[in-house]
Amino acid sequence: MSTGRSGTLSESMFEYEPGVVDRDDPLHGELMELNMGPQHPATHGVLRIKVLLDGETMVKVEPVVGYLHRGKEKTCESLGWRKFFVHTDRLDYLQPLMNNIAYAAAMEKLAGIQIPERGQTIRVLLMELSRIMAHLIYLGTTSIDLGAVTMFFFTFSERERIYTLLDAYTGHRMNNTYVRIGGVYADVEPDVERDIRAWLEQFPKKIDEFESMLTGNRIWYDRNRNIGTLTAEQCKAWCLTGPNLRASGVEWDLRKKQPYSGYEHYDFEVPIGEIGDCYDRYAVRIEEMRQSVRICVQALERLAKSRGGEFLADDRRYVLPPKDLVNTSMEELIHQFKIVTDMALPQGEAYHAVESSKGELGFYVVSDGTSHPVRCHIRAPGLVNVQAIPLLAEGRLFSDMVSIIGSLDFVMGEVDR
Amino acid sequence: MSATAPERAGAPATSGSSGTAARVAAALAGVPHTLVHPADGMVSLEIETAAVNEVMSRLRDRAGFDSNTFVTAVDRFPDEPRFIVLWQFLSTTHNDRVRVQTRVPGDAPHVPTITHLWIGTAYFERECYDMFGIRFDGHAGLKRLLMPDGYEHHPLRKDFPHQGIEPDRLYREWDNRRRERSPLRTESQT
């Protein structure tokens, strides 16, 4: 961190009006400019926050994003529909499969592809495991920033177990890219199902353990309760979605309201908060993990019933034929060649959103009927969450900043794209 | 902390797209607009650029669209009018969405801001300005969001190459400036 105004490192970071503090107040000291990030551990990635301090009170806060900008949308336009799949993993890298599914679903909506039931069930299972993974990271990083170091190890060891399960299924711990247009790449084997079930059985007890460390903890309570309070109206005007919106008492969950991937067949509850402070956002996410476990268990039951069923749509315009057929059939070889070299989507535009762990993750895709998109806009919930930092932080003590950043929950890979 | 009663599975309370279209049409009575029909079936309007403020405030106040989902643009280079600027709105009370688009010419493109209606669109508009060079009139802090300040191009325009234009120019300038300021500067470096 470096001071700006009174130091010698740089000129003023801010353009602010002199009237921003009461100069006649005898208690106010000299304003200090503080540069938090972009390499600060509590900013959860390369986020820079410019803070103007009057004593310990934050007078003005301005997030600066873009340090991780890799031009994903431009990359999508030049790579084409199929090859961009691997790049979606690197958006919100804590839940790569969720991004895969959101992108695939937007293309499927545009092309009008129906997903087999088993494929949808596998997707639901993957999405809920991703949600648990992302919430575990939220919980671990937020609590280590607030001094609860043990929690970090608890949550990361649990997340590592999910990674092991995904490794068994996809062959990769992270950046799986296992979703395809029309379904998923491969079926879930029975032994993987068994491992997932075994993990799900013990995980609710772990959540109780997490809660026993934090929920009644005096320090955790004091540093989160009544800090960063958002009203429902503020959330909507600031375009916030997901757990941040639900913590403010709005019952809005795309899985319930605009179901996709067959979420209407699952029995689960949508937790909502009361006052919308950092503590409510924590409580909502804890409860969401429990509900995700419920959904995963139901998904496994459905998988057991549909064992041996199709998991990938049988549409040779978009879906690669099985390799053994390619080796023996001329038509299938032609299909494979066409898809690999030039998979075109029909002309038109489509938007599809999924309820990611951070909020509404949407892909708006525009096609001119060729293999390369005209536009692929990524509606990243993290960007909206970053935008709300000044709203919550200004006027509060600087130490609250860490709680606020943690509780809004964003990943810079997704914010900067 | 409270949990809502489990909703009846399989019965989402969506009002169909015909209900949305009727509500939007009633809210926009008297304002010229045309319906377009995108592939995803969303209610989608095309309006005049001058009518942006009128349409958006009616969508918010009369049709109940309380949240914005994104603001972005599509570059149709080399066709004219070059840009399509798009807004998408969400109604959490009626559980539906609407998309609004307007066509903007490629020469000094600008549209009115809607940050006074939804403050959360401020970043979306900054991103759109950054990527396409479309100015949002009335935006209080319209500056680049993702690309560095002082960058001269707008990367998502179709005439911008994917490899970039002089991608290291800014870095070289910064480096020179840093070296000039450094107290460790020696004769040989200058």
> Between chains, do A348 and B97 touch, taking CB under 8 Å as contact?
no
B155 inside 8 A of chain A by CB? yes
pLDDT at position A18: 56
Residues of the domain holding B92: 17-160
User: In B, which residues are within 8 Å of A236 by CB distance?
Assistant: 66-67, 92
Residues 1-40 of B with CB under 8 A from A: 1-7, 9-14, 38-40
Residues 53-82 of B with CB under 8 A from A: 66-70, 72, 74-76
Asked if residue B173 belongs to a domain, the reply is no
pLDDT at position B63: 86
Using a pLDDT cut of 90, give the percent of chain A over it.
Answer: 36
Closest CA to A358 of A298, A284, A297: A284
Asked if residue B50 belongs to a domain, the reply is yes
Of A237, A250, A366, the CB nearest to B74: A366
Report phi then psi at A94, rounded to 5.
-90, -15
A370 inside 8 A of chain B by CB? no
- Taking each continuous run of H as one helix and of E as one strand, the counts in chain A are 17, 9
Asked if residue A208 belongs to a domain, the reply is yes
Average pLDDT across chain B, whole number: 81
Structure token digits, residue A240: 């916030």
Average pLDDT over every residue of A144-167: 90
Of B6, B86, B118, the CB nearest to A267: B6
Residues 84-143 of A with CB under 8 A from B: 109-110, 112
**Residue A213 binned pLDDT confidence (cut-offs 50, 70, 90):** confident
Q: Between these two residues, A216 and B99, which has the higher pLDDT value? A: B99
pLDDT at position A198: 93
Rounded to an integer, what distance in angstroms lies between the CA atom of residue A136 and that of residue A174?
A: 15
Asked if residue B139 belongs to a domain, the reply is yes
Q: Tell me the nearest-neighbour CA distance from A366 into chain B, angstroms.
A: 8
Pick the residue from chain B with its C-alpha nearest to A280.
B1
Pick the residue from chain A with its C-alpha nearest to B99.
A351
Pick the residue from chain A with its C-alpha nearest to B114.
A237
B170 inside 8 A of chain A by CB? no
Q: Between these two residues, A43 and B144, which has the higher pLDDT value? A: B144
Specify the amino acid at residue B82: R
Handedness of CA B122, B125, B127, B133 (dihedral sign): negative
Average pLDDT over every residue of A277-287: 92
User: In B, which residues are within 8 Å of A75 by CB distance?
Assistant: 162
Question: pLDDT tens-digit profile of A341-379?
Answer: 888 889 989 999 999 999 999 999 999 888 899 999 999
Which CATH number do you get for residue B136? 3.30.460.80
Interior/surface letters B60-97, b for 16+ CB within 10 angstroms, e for the rest: beebebbbbbbbbbbbbeeeeebbbbbbbbbbbebbbb
Kindly report which listed range (A40-44, A108-112, A218-222) carries the lowest average pLDDT score: A40-44
Handedness of CA A230, A235, A238, A241 (dihedral sign): positive
Q: What is the dihedral of CA A383, A387, A389, A391, to 10 degrees?
A: -150
A251 inside 8 A of chain B by CB? yes
DSSP letter assigned to residue A18: G
Report ipTM (2 d.p.): 0.85
Asked if residue B12 belongs to a domain, the reply is no
Pick the residue from chain B with its C-alpha nearest to A378.
B70
Rounded to an integer, what distance in angstroms lies between the CA atom of residue B26 and that of residue B30?
A: 9
Asked if residue B30 belongs to a domain, the reply is yes
pLDDT at position A22: 62
pLDDT at position B167: 65
Average pLDDT over every residue of A64-93: 90
pLDDT at position A10: 43
Residues of the domain holding A179: 72-379
Average pLDDT across chain A, whole number: 87
A376 inside 8 A of chain B by CB? no
Asked if residue A61 belongs to a domain, the reply is no
Q: How many domains does chain B have?
A: 1
pLDDT at position B2: 41
> Between chains, do A387 and B86 touch, taking CB under 8 Å as contact?
no
Asked if residue A371 belongs to a domain, the reply is yes
pLDDT at position A23: 62
Residue A325 pLDDT more than 90?
A: no
Of B4, B11, B39, the CB nearest to A251: B4
Rounded to an integer, what distance in angstroms lies between the CA atom of residue B128 and that of residue B144?
A: 9
Rounded to an integer, what distance in angstroms lies between the CA atom of residue A329 and that of residue A331?
A: 6
Average pLDDT over every residue of A167-185: 89
Using a pLDDT cut of 90, give the percent of chain B over it.
Answer: 23
| Inter-residue contact B44 to B98 (CB < 8 Å) | yes
**Residue A101 binned pLDDT confidence (cut-offs 50, 70, 90):** very high
Asked if residue A372 belongs to a domain, the reply is yes
> Between chains, do A364 and B86 touch, taking CB under 8 Å as contact?
yes
Asked if residue B67 belongs to a domain, the reply is yes
In which residue ranges of chain B is pLDDT below 70? 1-17, 167, 183-190
Task: Indicate whether this model's pTM tops 0.90.
Answer: no
Q: Number of Cβ pairs closer than 8 Å across A and B?
A: 136
> Between chains, do B120 and A237 touch, taking CB under 8 Å as contact?
yes
Which CATH number do you get for residue A231? 1.10.645.10
Q: How many domains does chain A have?
A: 1
> Between chains, do A73 and B131 touch, taking CB under 8 Å as contact?
yes
Asked if residue B186 belongs to a domain, the reply is no
User: In A, which residues are within 8 Å of B67 by CB distance?
Assistant: 236-237, 239, 241
Rounded to an integer, what distance in angstroms lies between the CA atom of residue A394 and that of residue A361?
A: 27
Residue A313's contacts (CB-CB under 8 Å, 6 or more residues apart) are A113, A114, A115, A116, A119, A181, A182, A183, A319
User: In A, which residues are within 8 Å of B7 by CB distance?
Assistant: 256
Specify the amino acid at residue A369: G
Asked if residue A232 belongs to a domain, the reply is yes
> Between chains, do B38 and A349 touch, taking CB under 8 Å as contact?
yes
**Residue A293 binned pLDDT confidence (cut-offs 50, 70, 90):** very high
Interior/surface letters A22-60, b for 16+ CB within 10 angstroms, e for the rest: eeeeeeeeebbbbbbbbebebbbbbbbbbbbbbeeebbb
Q: Between these two residues, A7 and A88, which has the higher pLDDT value? A: A88
| Inter-residue contact A359 to A240 (CB < 8 Å) | yes
